[in-house]
Amino acid sequence: MSQSAPHYGKVYLVGAGPGAVDLITLRGASILAQADVVLHDALVTEEMLALAPQAEKIPVGKRSGQRSTAQIAINHLLIDCAKKFQTIVRLKGGDPMLFGRADEELKALESLGIEVEIVPGITTAFAAAAATQQPLTKRGVARSIAFFTSATAPQHADELSMPDSDTLIQYMGGREAVATAKKLIAQGRSLDLPVIIVENCSLPDQSITRMQLRDLEQGLGERKGPVLVMIGNAMALRHT
């Protein structure tokens, strides 16, 4: 007797946005309200999880500098949940497709024919630009942007080159601030280059610090929340 193929539920990779609960998309909130289970990153707030009161909640780590669930284990957990539940949400900070390890999760699910839908979210860079009222592009000053990080592969950090763009946005940049500044200075970037540090973007304890590249080279000290580093002439304080 042939064995029937397993039935799987549908998995949604949902972007939670930068942190504030009212910055998730309407579609993301709607799917959370229908979820049977939510596998969420460490930085997802309790207020965000409250949008899915009916769902089982499973924390899966992913916080820089702290112990997190290995990506392979998350992949297996997603597959196990797809066997047990109809609507599975993998809730990621920011946007799933930007530094969200979506590629590994998509491959694992697609290999078994599990249906996947991606719901985009507001990435932190755009929320930080709004919070600081600093456009990332500016006519005559900045027409290119690069998003980068070295935090996901610290053992190879010294091998990474800096992007050659007008505006640079470094995710998870707190620990790499000194190395980033040194590389940019070695490239010939001005010591006066404006830098903005945004910590806990969009949350009540958000902090914004303005400095120059020479200051960034001294490091940022101990930071409790996630840090976004914005670098470039477009970050110069606007005179209004």
96: its two tokens: 């799933």
Within 10 angstroms of residue 147's Cβ, the number of other Cβ atoms is: 18
Phi, psi of 56 (to 5 degrees): -75, 135
Element (H, E) at 13: strand 10-15
Sort 71 into a burial class: Cβ within 10 Å, 0-12 / 13-18 / 19+: middle
DSSP E strand boundaries for 102-239: 116-119, 145-148, 167-171, 194-199, 207-212, 227-231
| Helix, coil or strand: residue 104 | helix
Tell me the catalytic residues: 41, 62
Smallest CA-to-CA distance from 118 within 17, 14, 25, 30 is with: 14
Element (H, E) at 110: helix 102-110
- Give the pairing of strands 167-171 and 227-231: antiparallel
